[in-house]
Protein backbone atom coordinates (compact mmCIF):
# COMPACT_ATOMS: atom_id res chain seq x y z
CA UNK A 1 0.00 0.00 0.00
CA UNK A 2 1.27 3.48 -0.83
CA UNK A 3 2.15 5.78 2.02
CA UNK A 4 -0.53 8.31 1.16
CA UNK A 5 -3.23 5.62 1.30
CA UNK A 6 -1.98 4.55 4.73
CA UNK A 7 -2.03 8.17 5.95
CA UNK A 8 -5.60 8.66 4.67
CA UNK A 9 -6.74 5.45 6.33
CA UNK A 10 -5.03 6.47 9.56
CA UNK A 11 -6.70 9.87 9.61
CA UNK A 12 -10.15 8.45 8.91
CA UNK A 13 -10.20 6.04 11.91
CA UNK A 14 -10.54 8.89 14.38
CA UNK A 15 -12.34 11.41 12.19
CA UNK A 16 -15.08 8.82 11.50
CA UNK A 17 -15.51 8.19 15.22
CA UNK A 18 -15.63 11.89 16.03
CA UNK A 19 -18.16 12.51 13.30
CA UNK A 20 -20.42 9.74 14.57
CA UNK A 21 -20.03 11.00 18.15
CA UNK A 22 -21.03 14.56 17.27
CA UNK A 23 -17.51 16.00 17.50
CA UNK A 24 -16.52 14.75 20.93
CA UNK A 25 -15.58 11.22 21.94
CA UNK A 26 -15.22 9.68 25.39
CA UNK A 27 -12.12 7.71 26.38
CA UNK A 28 -12.34 5.17 29.21
CA UNK A 29 -11.04 5.74 32.76
CA UNK A 30 -8.13 4.31 34.74
CA UNK A 31 -7.55 0.65 33.99
CA UNK A 32 -4.84 -0.39 36.43
CA UNK A 33 -6.34 1.43 39.40
CA UNK A 34 -9.78 0.02 38.57
CA UNK A 35 -8.32 -3.52 38.50
CA UNK A 36 -6.90 -2.75 41.94
CA UNK A 37 -10.24 -1.50 43.20
CA UNK A 38 -11.57 -4.93 42.23
CA UNK A 39 -8.92 -6.58 44.36
CA UNK A 40 -6.05 -7.20 41.93
CA UNK A 41 -2.59 -6.93 43.48
CA UNK A 42 -0.49 -4.92 41.03
CA UNK A 43 2.58 -4.56 43.19
CA UNK A 44 4.77 -6.08 40.50
CA UNK A 45 7.11 -4.77 37.79
CA UNK A 46 4.45 -5.78 35.23
CA UNK A 47 1.80 -3.70 37.06
CA UNK A 48 -1.55 -4.08 35.26
CA UNK A 49 0.00 -6.42 32.67
CA UNK A 50 0.23 -9.00 35.44
CA UNK A 51 -3.54 -9.39 35.08
CA UNK A 52 -3.09 -10.53 31.48
CA UNK A 53 -1.52 -13.64 32.97
CA UNK A 54 -3.48 -14.01 36.24
CA UNK A 55 -6.93 -12.54 35.65
CA UNK A 56 -7.78 -11.83 32.01
CA UNK A 57 -11.50 -12.15 32.80
CA UNK A 58 -11.24 -9.24 35.27
CA UNK A 59 -9.52 -7.11 32.61
CA UNK A 60 -12.34 -7.91 30.19
CA UNK A 61 -14.95 -7.06 32.83
CA UNK A 62 -13.37 -3.65 33.53
CA UNK A 63 -13.30 -2.88 29.78
CA UNK A 64 -16.97 -3.86 29.65
CA UNK A 65 -17.78 -1.64 32.66
CA UNK A 66 -16.25 1.32 30.83
CA UNK A 67 -18.27 0.55 27.71
CA UNK A 68 -21.45 0.32 29.79
CA UNK A 69 -20.50 3.68 31.33
CA UNK A 70 -20.43 5.17 27.82
CA UNK A 71 -16.80 5.11 26.68
CA UNK A 72 -16.25 5.26 22.92
CA UNK A 73 -12.60 4.21 23.18
CA UNK A 74 -11.15 1.53 25.48
CA UNK A 75 -7.41 1.22 26.09
CA UNK A 76 -5.76 -2.22 26.35
CA UNK A 77 -3.88 -3.51 29.40
CA UNK A 78 -0.53 -3.34 27.58
CA UNK A 79 0.70 -0.13 29.26
CA UNK A 80 3.38 -1.97 31.19
CA UNK A 81 3.34 -5.13 29.05
CA UNK A 82 6.70 -5.40 27.35
CA UNK A 83 8.48 -8.34 25.76
CA UNK A 84 11.52 -7.52 27.94
CA UNK A 85 9.35 -7.43 31.08
CA UNK A 86 7.78 -10.81 30.32
CA UNK A 87 11.19 -12.32 29.56
CA UNK A 88 12.46 -11.16 32.98
CA UNK A 89 9.57 -13.18 34.43
CA UNK A 90 10.90 -16.29 32.73
CA UNK A 91 8.59 -16.30 29.71
CA UNK A 92 9.89 -16.63 26.16
CA UNK A 93 9.83 -13.66 23.78
CA UNK A 94 7.15 -15.53 21.78
CA UNK A 95 4.98 -15.84 24.90
CA UNK A 96 5.54 -12.13 25.55
CA UNK A 97 4.38 -11.24 22.05
CA UNK A 98 1.35 -13.48 22.46
CA UNK A 99 0.42 -11.68 25.70
CA UNK A 100 0.69 -8.31 23.95
CA UNK A 101 -1.73 -9.55 21.29
CA UNK A 102 -3.93 -11.00 24.01
CA UNK A 103 -4.26 -7.59 25.71
CA UNK A 104 -5.88 -6.22 22.56
CA UNK A 105 -7.92 -9.38 22.00
CA UNK A 106 -9.41 -9.05 25.52
CA UNK A 107 -10.52 -5.48 24.77
CA UNK A 108 -11.99 -6.63 21.44
CA UNK A 109 -13.87 -9.42 23.26
CA UNK A 110 -15.37 -6.86 25.65
CA UNK A 111 -16.49 -4.80 22.66
CA UNK A 112 -18.06 -7.87 21.05
CA UNK A 113 -19.93 -8.78 24.27
CA UNK A 114 -21.14 -5.18 24.57
CA UNK A 115 -22.39 -5.13 20.98
CA UNK A 116 -24.09 -8.53 21.34
CA UNK A 117 -25.95 -7.26 24.41
CA UNK A 118 -27.03 -4.25 22.40
CA UNK A 119 -28.40 -6.55 19.67
CA UNK A 120 -30.31 -8.59 22.25
CA UNK A 121 -31.86 -5.49 23.80
CA UNK A 122 -32.60 -3.85 20.45
CA UNK A 123 -33.65 -6.64 18.11
CA UNK A 124 -33.79 -5.53 14.51
CA UNK A 125 -32.08 -2.18 15.19
CA UNK A 126 -28.78 -2.60 13.34
CA UNK A 127 -27.14 0.52 14.72
CA UNK A 128 -24.27 -0.60 16.97
CA UNK A 129 -22.39 2.46 18.15
CA UNK A 130 -18.77 2.72 16.99
CA UNK A 131 -16.14 1.73 19.54
CA UNK A 132 -12.37 1.90 19.09
CA UNK A 133 -9.80 -0.31 20.78
CA UNK A 134 -6.56 1.54 21.54
CA UNK A 135 -3.39 -0.48 22.20
CA UNK A 136 -1.54 1.11 25.09
CA UNK A 137 2.21 1.74 24.99
CA UNK A 138 3.73 2.98 28.25
CA UNK A 139 7.17 4.55 28.48
CA UNK A 140 10.57 2.92 28.97
CA UNK A 141 10.40 4.31 32.52
CA UNK A 142 7.17 2.38 33.13
CA UNK A 143 9.03 -0.82 32.19
CA UNK A 144 11.95 0.09 34.47
CA UNK A 145 9.39 0.57 37.27
CA UNK A 146 11.93 2.72 39.15
CA UNK A 147 10.04 6.01 39.21
CA UNK A 148 11.65 7.37 36.03
CA UNK A 149 8.22 7.13 34.42
CA UNK A 150 7.38 10.25 36.45
CA UNK A 151 10.71 12.05 36.10
CA UNK A 152 11.52 11.21 32.49
CA UNK A 153 15.14 11.05 33.60
CA UNK A 154 16.74 7.99 32.02
CA UNK A 155 20.35 9.11 32.50
CA UNK A 156 23.05 9.81 29.93
CA UNK A 157 23.45 6.24 28.75
CA UNK A 158 19.95 6.00 27.29
CA UNK A 159 19.97 7.30 23.72
CA UNK A 160 17.38 7.68 20.99
CA UNK A 161 18.54 4.31 19.63
CA UNK A 162 18.14 2.64 23.04
CA UNK A 163 14.54 3.79 23.16
CA UNK A 164 13.79 2.87 19.56
CA UNK A 165 15.27 -0.59 20.06
CA UNK A 166 13.30 -0.99 23.27
CA UNK A 167 9.94 -0.06 21.74
CA UNK A 168 10.20 -1.26 18.13
CA UNK A 169 9.05 -4.86 18.35
CA UNK A 170 6.24 -4.10 20.79
CA UNK A 171 4.85 -1.42 18.51
CA UNK A 172 5.05 -3.79 15.52
CA UNK A 173 3.22 -6.54 17.41
CA UNK A 174 0.50 -4.19 18.70
CA UNK A 175 0.04 -2.69 15.22
CA UNK A 176 -0.80 -6.17 13.92
CA UNK A 177 -2.99 -7.16 16.85
CA UNK A 178 -6.37 -5.96 15.60
CA UNK A 179 -6.27 -2.66 17.54
CA UNK A 180 -7.68 0.41 15.82
CA UNK A 181 -5.08 2.85 17.15
CA UNK A 182 -1.89 2.86 19.24
CA UNK A 183 -2.04 4.99 22.39
CA UNK A 184 1.42 6.20 23.43
CA UNK A 185 0.55 7.23 26.96
CA UNK A 186 2.04 9.13 29.89
CA UNK A 187 5.04 10.09 27.75
CA UNK A 188 7.58 11.77 30.04
CA UNK A 189 10.20 13.34 27.75
CA UNK A 190 11.18 14.55 24.31
CA UNK A 191 13.66 11.77 23.49
CA UNK A 192 10.94 9.15 23.85
CA UNK A 193 8.52 11.27 21.80
CA UNK A 194 11.14 11.38 19.06
CA UNK A 195 11.69 7.61 19.30
CA UNK A 196 7.95 6.93 18.89
CA UNK A 197 7.69 9.25 15.89
CA UNK A 198 10.71 7.64 14.18
CA UNK A 199 9.40 4.12 14.75
CA UNK A 200 6.05 5.09 13.22
CA UNK A 201 7.79 6.58 10.19
CA UNK A 202 10.43 3.89 9.68
CA UNK A 203 8.41 0.76 10.32
CA UNK A 204 5.46 -0.29 8.28
CA UNK A 205 2.93 0.67 10.94
CA UNK A 206 -0.43 0.88 9.21
CA UNK A 207 -2.70 1.93 12.05
CA UNK A 208 -2.81 5.47 13.48
CA UNK A 209 -1.45 6.58 16.84
CA UNK A 210 -2.04 9.20 19.49
CA UNK A 211 0.67 10.83 21.58
CA UNK A 212 -0.27 11.69 25.14
CA UNK A 213 2.09 13.51 27.49
CA UNK A 214 2.38 13.68 31.25
CA UNK A 215 2.84 16.98 33.09
CA UNK A 216 3.22 17.75 36.77
CA UNK A 217 3.50 21.53 36.63
CA UNK A 218 0.78 22.36 34.10
CA UNK A 219 3.37 23.77 31.69
CA UNK A 220 5.80 21.17 30.44
CA UNK A 221 6.40 17.41 30.51
CA UNK A 222 7.35 15.77 33.81
CA UNK A 223 11.01 15.80 32.68
CA UNK A 224 10.89 19.56 32.15
CA UNK A 225 11.09 19.08 28.36
CA UNK A 226 9.00 21.57 26.43
CA UNK A 227 5.40 20.53 25.76
CA UNK A 228 5.38 22.77 22.70
CA UNK A 229 8.42 20.91 21.28
CA UNK A 230 6.89 17.52 21.94
CA UNK A 231 3.46 18.44 20.59
CA UNK A 232 5.23 19.81 17.50
CA UNK A 233 6.91 16.43 16.95
CA UNK A 234 3.49 14.79 17.23
CA UNK A 235 2.05 17.34 14.83
CA UNK A 236 4.71 16.57 12.19
CA UNK A 237 4.19 12.81 12.30
CA UNK A 238 1.55 11.88 9.74
CA UNK A 239 0.49 8.71 11.53
CA UNK A 240 -0.31 10.64 14.70
CA UNK A 241 -4.00 11.57 14.62
CA UNK A 242 -4.45 13.13 18.07
CA UNK A 243 -2.24 14.80 20.67
CA UNK A 244 -2.84 15.40 24.34
CA UNK A 245 -2.30 14.88 28.04
CA UNK A 246 -3.06 12.06 30.46
CA UNK A 247 -2.50 11.12 34.09
CA UNK A 248 -2.16 14.76 35.08
CA UNK A 249 -4.26 16.57 37.74
CA UNK A 250 -7.49 18.11 36.40
CA UNK A 251 -6.52 21.62 37.55
CA UNK A 252 -3.68 21.77 35.00
CA UNK A 253 -5.60 20.54 31.98
CA UNK A 254 -7.15 23.79 30.73
CA UNK A 255 -3.79 25.55 30.36
CA UNK A 256 -2.20 22.51 28.75
CA UNK A 257 -4.94 22.32 26.10
CA UNK A 258 -4.31 25.99 25.26
CA UNK A 259 -0.59 25.31 24.84
CA UNK A 260 -1.09 22.29 22.57
CA UNK A 261 -3.54 24.26 20.44
CA UNK A 262 -0.76 26.70 19.59
CA UNK A 263 1.17 24.06 17.66
CA UNK A 264 -1.34 21.64 16.15
CA UNK A 265 -4.75 21.45 14.55
CA UNK A 266 -5.01 17.72 15.21
CA UNK A 267 -7.72 16.64 17.68
CA UNK A 268 -6.70 17.18 21.30
CA UNK A 269 -7.27 14.41 23.82
CA UNK A 270 -7.18 14.66 27.58
CA UNK A 271 -7.68 12.03 30.23
CA UNK A 272 -6.57 13.43 33.57
CA UNK A 273 -6.12 11.40 36.74
CA UNK A 274 -8.33 11.98 39.77
CA UNK A 275 -6.00 14.70 41.06
CA UNK A 276 -4.89 12.54 43.98
CA UNK A 277 -1.18 12.33 44.64
CA UNK A 278 0.73 9.08 44.57
CA UNK A 279 3.01 8.42 47.48
CA UNK A 280 5.83 6.51 45.83
CA UNK A 281 7.43 5.43 49.13
CA UNK A 282 4.24 3.99 50.58
CA UNK A 283 3.10 2.84 47.14
CA UNK A 284 -0.40 4.22 47.65
CA UNK A 285 -2.63 7.09 46.60
CA UNK A 286 -3.35 9.91 49.07
CA UNK A 287 -7.13 10.10 48.84
CA UNK A 288 -7.77 13.49 50.36
CA UNK A 289 -5.82 15.25 47.61
CA UNK A 290 -8.20 14.34 44.77
CA UNK A 291 -11.34 15.75 43.20
CA UNK A 292 -14.76 14.10 43.34
CA UNK A 293 -16.59 12.92 40.21
CA UNK A 294 -18.73 16.07 40.50
CA UNK A 295 -15.70 18.36 40.60
CA UNK A 296 -14.12 16.49 37.73
CA UNK A 297 -17.27 16.94 35.73
CA UNK A 298 -17.50 20.64 36.42
CA UNK A 299 -14.32 20.95 34.34
CA UNK A 300 -15.59 18.96 31.36
CA UNK A 301 -17.45 21.70 29.49
CA UNK A 302 -14.49 24.07 30.00
CA UNK A 303 -12.10 21.51 28.52
CA UNK A 304 -14.48 21.04 25.62
CA UNK A 305 -14.66 24.80 25.05
CA UNK A 306 -10.88 25.05 25.28
CA UNK A 307 -10.66 22.61 22.37
CA UNK A 308 -10.53 19.02 23.64
CA UNK A 309 -12.21 16.50 21.31
CA UNK A 310 -11.57 13.34 23.31
CA UNK A 311 -12.15 13.33 27.05
CA UNK A 312 -11.72 10.51 29.57
CA UNK A 313 -9.94 9.67 32.80
CA UNK A 314 -6.67 8.11 33.92
CA UNK A 315 -5.48 6.71 37.25
CA UNK A 316 -8.08 6.56 40.07
CA UNK A 317 -10.96 7.58 37.85
CA UNK A 318 -13.68 4.91 37.60
CA UNK A 319 -16.68 3.95 35.45
CA UNK A 320 -18.74 6.42 37.48
CA UNK A 321 -16.35 9.22 36.41
CA UNK A 322 -16.86 8.19 32.79
CA UNK A 323 -20.64 8.08 33.23
CA UNK A 324 -20.48 11.60 34.67
CA UNK A 325 -18.34 12.82 31.75
CA UNK A 326 -20.87 11.40 29.29
CA UNK A 327 -23.65 13.14 31.17
CA UNK A 328 -21.80 16.45 31.18
CA UNK A 329 -21.35 16.12 27.41
CA UNK A 330 -25.01 15.03 27.24
CA UNK A 331 -24.16 11.88 25.38
Between 150 and 196, CB nearer to Zn ion: 150
Between 75 and 133, CB nearer to ligand MET: 75
Which of ligand MET, Zn ion, none does residue 274 bind (CB under 5 to 8 Å by kind)? none
- Considering only 26-34, 113-121, 284-292, 298-306, which stretch makes contact with ligand MET by CB under 6 A? 26-34
> How many residues touch ligand MET (CB under 6 A)?
12
Binding site for Zn ion (CB under 5 A): 247, 314-315
Between 105 and 232, CB nearer to ligand MET: 105
Which of ligand MET, Zn ion, none does residue 296 bind (CB under 5 to 8 Å by kind)? none
Regarding 30 and contact with ligand MET (CB under 6 A), the answer is: yes
Instruction: Please state whether beta strands 25-26 and 308-311 pair in parallel, antiparallel, or not at all (unpaired).
Output: parallel
Among 26, 104, 106, 136, binds ligand MET (CB under 6 A): 136
Among 14, 21, 46, 48, binds ligand MET (CB under 6 A): 48
Which of Zn ion, ligand MET, none does residue 185 bind (CB under 5 to 8 Å by kind)? ligand MET
Which of Zn ion, ligand MET, none does residue 32 bind (CB under 5 to 8 Å by kind)? ligand MET
User: Any binding-site annotation on 247?
Assistant: yes
Q: Which residues bind ligand MET (CB under 6 A)?
A: 30-32, 48, 75, 79, 136, 185-186, 247, 314-315
Amino acid sequence: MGNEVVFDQCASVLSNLLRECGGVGVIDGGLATELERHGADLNDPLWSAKCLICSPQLVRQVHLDYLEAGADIIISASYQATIQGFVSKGLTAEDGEALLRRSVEIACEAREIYWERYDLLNPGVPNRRPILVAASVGSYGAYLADGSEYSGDYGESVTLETLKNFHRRRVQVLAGSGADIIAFETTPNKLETQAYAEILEEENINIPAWFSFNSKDGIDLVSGDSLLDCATIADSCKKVVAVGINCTPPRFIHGLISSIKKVTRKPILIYPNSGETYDGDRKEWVESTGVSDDDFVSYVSKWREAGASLIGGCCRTTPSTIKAICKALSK
